[in-house]
Structure 1
Amino acid sequence: MQTLTGVRRNGWRLLLTWAVVTIFAGGALAEETYKIGGIFSVTGRASFLGDPEKKSMEMVIEKINAAGGIDGRKLEAVIYDTEGDPTKAVMSVSKLLNKDKVLAIIGPSTTPTTLAVMPFAEKARTPLISCAAGNKITMPINPWVFKTAQSDIHAVQAIYEHMKTRGIRKIGILTVADAFGESGREQLEAQAGDFGLTIVQADKFGGNDTDMTAQLTKIKSAKPDAVICWGTNPGPAVVNKNARQLALNIPVYQSHGVASPKFIELAGESAEGTLLPTGKILIHDLLPETDPQKAVLAEYAGTYTETFKQPVSGFGGYAYDAVNILAQALKGTDGDPEKLRDNIESLTDHVGVSGVFNFGPKEHNGLSANAFVMVRIQNGTWELVQ
């Protein structure tokens, strides 16, 4: 018969054994997942970008995990909302790197927030795949930073090539006063001469401005053949409304920064006839069967609309592509960040929602001009411009 002391001693041994097993099991469990960070503008002015990006990241991670994960390990998403604020973006990246110990980061949603966090990812030697478009994200090359959004260089080229076919010679430009707007303005000015275009009036607007009548009045007085607005919602929708109010009866071009149903919703009837470059997601059903992206686009659009009961946009596709690129690059790395970075940089012929990616030591966007098509908003929807 056991003594009371023996019972106590055995009890403590069992408790100690349980604690040790729990600690090691916990460590093993942690090692079985790859933690991936996400920082998006889920709420706030840029929520039309960040909300579909967050949903797309969660959706594709669920799909990858259901198929067995990467090398037997599941992906675990840790996502923070930046609200489009560079300061909050920096705070979020700090948490992801120092508290959550993520292997890589997807996002942010905007160019200003991306530029704010890039130095921290580089210092931590952690791959960051941005969902923003500004050229300065990947020019010059930062070894630890990539992006999936199509380049401003190619967006401007698509607009100017379309203008050339319509005999447009004089243009007015109106750009948002932030990093995205500055990047677009630089390309609009740099490429104009190559297409025989003259910028007769250039102006800016603030991201929160609610009236662009003054800028558009000056543009109208310069008598351009067309006007280009470069920004993200809601400003560009205001530009369309003000242009109609001023009877600015010339073609209005927008940037790829408004390529989502949200722009049509905000601009209302004034959106009619607007021209813009966009990834192929908005008109994927109109693509020929020979297009290499058609199957990927159809799968993404079908799954997203069925899951979330809302239309897709190219912005969600940026995150969808980023996670798939990361998942491909993770294979065989055992979570080593150096190997992961190298694998992203060497990835070629990756067919995604945003285009066909071909990365390299001097190319951290990986997309060509073929990633864009020109569309016109007609009867409240998108029409492919041939």
Structure 2
Amino acid sequence: MECRARPWVSWMAAAAVMLGCMVGPKGLWGAEPYKIGGVFSITGSSSFLGDPEKKSLEMAVEEINAQGGIDGRPVEAVIYDTEGDPTKAVLAVNKLISKDNVLAIIGPSLTPTTLAVMPIVERVQVPLISCAAGIQIVEPVKPYVFKTAQSDVLAVATIYKHMHKHGIKKIGILSVTNAFGVSGRDQLVKQAPEYGIKIVKEEAYGANDTDMTAQLTKIKGQNPDAVVCWGTNPGPAVVAKNMRQLGLTFALYQSHGVASPKFIELAGEAAEGIRLPTGKILVADLLPASDPQKAVLTRYIAEYTKRYGGGVSGFGGYAYDAMHMLAKALKGTGGDKAKIRDNLEKISGHVGITGVFTMTAQDHNGLGPDAFVMVEIRNGTWKLLD
């Protein structure tokens, strides 16, 4: 037996591997572990997503094992880094399936990497719970693909409701030219008429672009009430800085793809006044005691901060929610992948970090409008908007 822990495996799982070297292949549990795969953008430009997802998956696994595992069997997380690259995501998923023999996979972190691996898991029928936002991940429904991140459909609706309430009628759009940006742009265009909003100018930027002043100048020429930037770091922070450099005074809305302390760090003073939809985790302390998520959020924030020293964001919650719902789905299945899939589809009323999940055969995301709130960045922190 090879006594070597895989990279990115949680410390508890790694300990279980080493103990297995001493007491036999089943370790101290007397049963083989249920192996769960994780594929996240742990390093690279999207590490602000993947790093907390990795840590949160490890945290969830440790919690589940501390409570006795699943039907008396431990859970082992086997986690690989995609670096945000679709090709590396495909390689990692193939390895998890063919070499590691995982029962299910959590991740990837991004819409493009998720879209790249979906055909694989559908073909071999291994349940996958993505941590990415693009609506095309779950619409149309694919039997073995689920996701925990709030969809851009809900994010756009949250932004537009706020705009409608505050009299914003003319907007410009600036979106990144990848699957996440295209999906968000499509929803912005599709939903605008419903809220009486006119899009006066559309512009786009590349994921690696470092200056968007040309696009913003074109948008300015149409005299909008606000601009919506749809992307993930670092691009949106560049947009924020460019707006300040150009002296633009119209409102800037961002997508939920930047709802983390990393965005404020990247944008600096230019983050002030920016509005965006986010899960409730960023304003957990401002929620009323009656909110069903408050207790779960408070506990998660405290434990994550204790373990990792801060940096809490909703992104880690995507993986944490996925693992805890997967734990529910695993019970009584004996590791049968088809039964796990069926049970995921029956998850109902699961109170998570991201929202309250109720999956169905028609909805493999399971979240409603109450999974989002609107926030504004003020004095370097998040303030809840009405």
Q: TM-score range by the shorter chain?
A: over 0.9
Which amino acid in structure 1 is aligned with residue 145 of structure 2? Answer: V
Render the CA deviation track for 1:254-302: whole Å, top value 9, x for unaligned.
Answer: 0000000000000000000000000000000100010000000001100
Aligned equivalent of 2:240: 240
Distance 2:77 2:346 in 1: 24
Aligned equivalent of 1:14: none
Distance 1:251 1:328 in 2: 43
Aligned equivalent of 1:270: 270
Aligned equivalent of 1:373: 373
Which amino acid in structure 2 is aligned with residue 225 of structure 1? Answer: D
Aligned equivalent of 1:7: none
Question: 1:1-386 maps to which residues of 2 (within 5 A)?
Answer: 25-26=24-25, 32-386=32-386
Distance 1:151 1:41 in 2: 19
Distance 2:166 2:374 in 1: 13
- Structure 1: runs of 5 or more not aligned: 1-21
Render the CA deviation track for 1:78-109: whole Å, top value 9, x for unaligned.
Answer: 00000000000000000000000000000000
| SS, match of residue 25 in structure 2 | helix
Distance 2:168 2:59 in 1: 43
Which amino acid in structure 1 is aligned with residue 277 of structure 2? Answer: P
Distance 2:250 2:24 in 1: 67
| SS, match of residue 219 in structure 2 | helix
CA RMSD of the aligned region, Å?
A: 1.3
Distance 1:25 1:64 in 2: 22
Distance 2:188 2:235 in 1: 18
Q: CA deviation at 1:31?
A: 5.0
Q: Residue 25 and residue 256 in structure 1: after superposition, are their counterparts in 2 closer, same or farther (change >3 A)? A: same
Render the CA deviation track for 1:343-367: whole Å, top value 9, x for unaligned.
Answer: 0001100000000001000000000
Distance 2:374 2:77 in 1: 34
Q: CA deviation at 1:27?
A: 6.9
Distance 1:159 1:30 in 2: 52
% identity of equivalent residues:
65
Q: CA deviation at 1:328?
A: 0.7
Distance 2:39 2:151 in 1: 20
Which amino acid in structure 2 is aligned with residue 109 of structure 1? Answer: S
Distance 1:205 1:43 in 2: 23
Distance 1:68 1:348 in 2: 23
Q: CA deviation at 1:311?
A: 2.5
Distance 1:373 1:30 in 2: 46
Distance 2:279 2:185 in 1: 20
Distance 2:225 2:52 in 1: 35
Distance 1:187 1:94 in 2: 32
Which amino acid in structure 2 is aligned with residue 115 of structure 1? Answer: L
Distance 2:153 2:145 in 1: 18
Render the CA deviation track for 1:2-54: whole Å, top value 9, x for unaligned.
Answer: xxxxxxxxxxxxxxxxxxxx9x9537989520000000000001000000000
Aligned equivalent of 1:10: none
Higher Rg of the two aligned structures = 1
Which amino acid in structure 2 is aligned with residue 296 of structure 1? Answer: V
Distance 2:25 2:56 in 1: 29
Distance 2:207 2:352 in 1: 30
| SS, match of residue 376 in structure 1 | strand
TM-score between both structures, scaled by the size of structure 1: 0.93
Q: Residue 33 and residue 86 in structure 1: after superposition, are their counterparts in 2 closer, same or farther (change >3 A)? A: same
| SS, match of residue 69 in structure 2 | coil
TM-score between both structures, scaled by the size of structure 2: 0.93
